[in-house]
Structure 1
């Protein structure tokens, strides 16, 4: 067969092999979706992501205004005062907010899928100083007040105790703030608004996925320690100090109202407003990151499938041309299918033994199979062993690329350059015209 026709058939085979690879990619997406569904089911059964907003001071007041007017009573002019009372609600952030939190995690799963669930024990302390917002005319007279705490999911509350000015207070469900959604509230005596109001909250909160806080105080200090070795810090502020190790992590945030838009957002948002995006946009915290997402890693590995097929087919074709050992179109196809089988083995094994061991087992199985098969196809045990070792080396290189995403482009381009240079060096004296007439 002429070399041009052989190259065309090999290229067509590469295109045809994209079909089983596309089916495998769909299977990976299906398993990913199933994993997300299980995570959502576990969150619905326990508690979802948690975001703490508060404590805040919610005050219901009367806006009292007076208007003087002159009236004519039987020809006698007199001046009267008309008083108007309008209900007003407003929020006051704490002068200081200090949170000391510890986080413990456990894996909960269903079938082959598992999700980390956490329990965050928090000691929240601080103080309020009630200052009514300014009004153009009249005055504001407080009538009722509450301490409110917004949560992401009330079902996560495992323990809570609140003290106001050193006295235990009764906690009620509901935040009484429209844009907070879920949360808790505590009645505050009106007399407590006259001076400094210290508070303390002992809160044990369960959740999944992430834990965040909104810096609602003038000065905010949050310290968090946990046993999860792979925290992903996120949000509007990163920790000022952090330590991450195999045994867990610790982090500290210090945020003032001068470096955060949350205080201004609180002043602009009323308790009855439907939304207050500025508060949540300024939140920060951490996400429990899975160190190795087997489906994501498999999906990333499959992006190199066409490159692997091209390299192996090119190497087989090169040996065929140089050694004048004809390789049939069907033998190319079986070689490609064996390489596609690597990804199916990787996906199925990783669900049971983890990504690293699954990758090693799949790479060893496919390298051994192809080494044994190509030893017969290419007419020599040495050639088969060489191909098997070369393919094992490629799989090892791919694993390094998957584990070091930052250097993937650099390493990949270096390998391609080395492969091209090797082909050019081996074929620099080949008479392609003679091969083309074969």
Structure 2
């Protein structure tokens, strides 16, 4: 089998699907010597059958021949296990069992996403090529040779009955109560994937959300520590909500304007909000701007991780190591007990004031 896949995209609303039109050439030979053993029986008919998963994908038949003679085909296969496809009825009296029966079928096949072939011949060779640059080879067998570039791919599979045990699997499917799972598992083919689309990138960005939230809260903790200014848990909560809203903005925007632009807008929105909030909370706009610059740098590093395919895990691990190393080196000389005592002292006056005011109110109520 040889197929050339011409890929295109179709849209429904904001969603798209990868489709293809495959100009397919299916050719081979059948050994008819086994018919000699059946001559003593009455043969009702012999059919040459091609099974397709969905007949709606058969767009056009170009040239169909058997022994170099044009043939007429009928829809359906006559096999309950594989109902969709087409067939041709052979004249038993005209078959020459001393020569192989050669066939050559050329047709246009349309599908979505995947193209898979079940190799039921004693020897099978499949060649697929397309301009799609991101193939994912799927099935029980990988191609024996493949070339992938920005211009597309070429791949070739080879299979035989010894390596796939296809005869036993096919017989079990036909004669043993529809046990076809093992036959379908022996398929080979290609999946036309988009390796890093906006949903995949959004999902990967959420996987790093714990790292981002932890680092931001760590920044707040250090601000609280070095400024000796307590930060209320509600303020931590508002910051956490702003960080969570970043991912919601990212997913919703990316469905309409693409991931890169959506990431830029979400980053600017989240950074500006937190920059203004931190500056007002600390009553120091300069520190708010520094916090915003640090947040922009963090989001830029995350964007680089999301663009990577093969090195994402390595880059993420190195980033975590560098950030942790920086925090440890910055805080190696800090006396944590002393800092905690300073924070407690700063909080004591406000606590005593509150207690004194409460006592005065209680005393006034008793006098009344």
In terms of mean alpha carbon deviation, does 122-131 or 375-384 score higher? 375-384
Partner secondary structure for residue 401 of structure 1: helix
Query: Is residue 287 from structure 1 mapped to residue 188 from structure 2 by the alignment?
Result: no
Query: Is residue 126 from structure 1 mapped to residue 36 from structure 2 by the alignment?
Result: no
Unaligned runs of 5+ in 2: 346-368
- In 2: Cα distance, 1:140 partner to 1:132 partner: 13
In terms of mean alpha carbon deviation, does 249-258 or 402-411 score higher? 402-411
Partner secondary structure for residue 387 of structure 1: helix
Kept in 1, the 8 Å contact 2:132–2:152? The answer is yes
Kept in 1, the 8 Å contact 2:172–2:179? The answer is no
- In 1: Cα distance, 2:255 partner to 2:34 partner: 58
- In 1: Cα distance, 2:305 partner to 2:254 partner: 18
Q: 1:174 aligns with which of 76, 87, 101?
A: 76
Kept in 2, the 8 Å contact 1:179–1:274? The answer is yes
Partner secondary structure for residue 114 of structure 1: strand
Over 3 Å counting, the alpha-carbon distance change for 1:133 and 1:381 in structure 2 is farther
Partner secondary structure for residue 228 of structure 1: coil
In the TM superposition, structure 1's runs of 4+ consecutive aligned residues that sit over 6 Å from their partners are: none
Over 3 Å counting, the alpha-carbon distance change for 1:313 and 1:134 in structure 2 is farther
Unaligned runs of 5+ in 1: 1-98
Q: 1:217 aligns with which of 109, 114, 121?
A: 121
Shift in Å at residue 346 of structure 1?
A: 0.4
The equivalent of 1:261 in structure 2 is 165
Deviations 1:274-323 (A, max 9, x none): 24333221110011212333233323322332332221111111122112
- In 2: Cα distance, 1:352 partner to 1:219 partner: 48
Shift in Å at residue 141 of structure 1?
A: 5.2
Answer 1 or 2: which has greater strand percent: 1
Deviations 1:58-91 (A, max 9, x none): xxxxxxxxxxxxxxxxxxxxxxxxxxxxxxxxxx
Structure showing greater relative contact order (alpha-carbon pairs closer than 8 Å, 6 or more residues apart) = 1
The equivalent of 2:101 in structure 1 is 197
- In 1: Cα distance, 2:133 partner to 2:317 partner: 33
The equivalent of 2:9 in structure 1 is 107
In terms of mean alpha carbon deviation, does 284-293 or 370-379 score higher? 370-379
Partner secondary structure for residue 174 of structure 2: coil
Kept in 1, the 8 Å contact 2:138–2:190? The answer is yes
The equivalent of 1:4 in structure 2 is none
Q: Output the TM-score relative to the length of structure 2.
A: 0.83
Q: Output the TM-score relative to the length of structure 1.
A: 0.71
- In 2: Cα distance, 1:128 partner to 1:287 partner: 30
Shift in Å at residue 344 of structure 1?
A: 1.3
Deviations 1:27-61 (A, max 9, x none): xxxxxxxxxxxxxxxxxxxxxxxxxxxxxxxxxxx
Shift in Å at residue 269 of structure 1?
A: 4.5
In terms of mean alpha carbon deviation, does 293-302 or 176-185 score higher? 293-302
The equivalent of 1:23 in structure 2 is none
- In 2: Cα distance, 1:332 partner to 1:421 partner: 24
Shift in Å at residue 112 of structure 1?
A: 0.8
- In 2: Cα distance, 1:359 partner to 1:232 partner: 27
Query: Is residue 416 from structure 1 mapped to residue 320 from structure 2 by the alignment?
Result: yes
Q: 2:48 aligns with which of 147, 150, 160?
A: 147
The equivalent of 1:394 in structure 2 is 298
Answer 1 or 2: which has greater helix percent: 2
- In 2: Cα distance, 1:263 partner to 1:389 partner: 66
The equivalent of 2:212 in structure 1 is 308
Kept in 2, the 8 Å contact 1:309–1:339? The answer is yes
Partner secondary structure for residue 50 of structure 2: strand
Shift in Å at residue 151 of structure 1?
A: 0.5
The equivalent of 2:137 in structure 1 is 233
Over 3 Å counting, the alpha-carbon distance change for 1:409 and 1:328 in structure 2 is same
- In 1: Cα distance, 2:105 partner to 2:177 partner: 26
Query: Is residue 350 from structure 1 mapped to residue 254 from structure 2 by the alignment?
Result: yes
Question: How many matched pairs?
Answer: 339
Kept in 1, the 8 Å contact 2:172–2:178? The answer is no
Shift in Å at residue 328 of structure 1?
A: 3.6
Shift in Å at residue 140 of structure 1?
A: 4.7
Shift in Å at residue 111 of structure 1?
A: 1.0
- In 2: Cα distance, 1:349 partner to 1:419 partner: 29
Over 3 Å counting, the alpha-carbon distance change for 1:227 and 1:408 in structure 2 is closer
Kept in 2, the 8 Å contact 1:327–1:378? The answer is no
The equivalent of 1:26 in structure 2 is none
Partner secondary structure for residue 121 of structure 1: strand
Deviations 1:365-401 (A, max 9, x none): 3223323332333344443233222222222232333
Kept in 1, the 8 Å contact 2:173–2:183? The answer is no
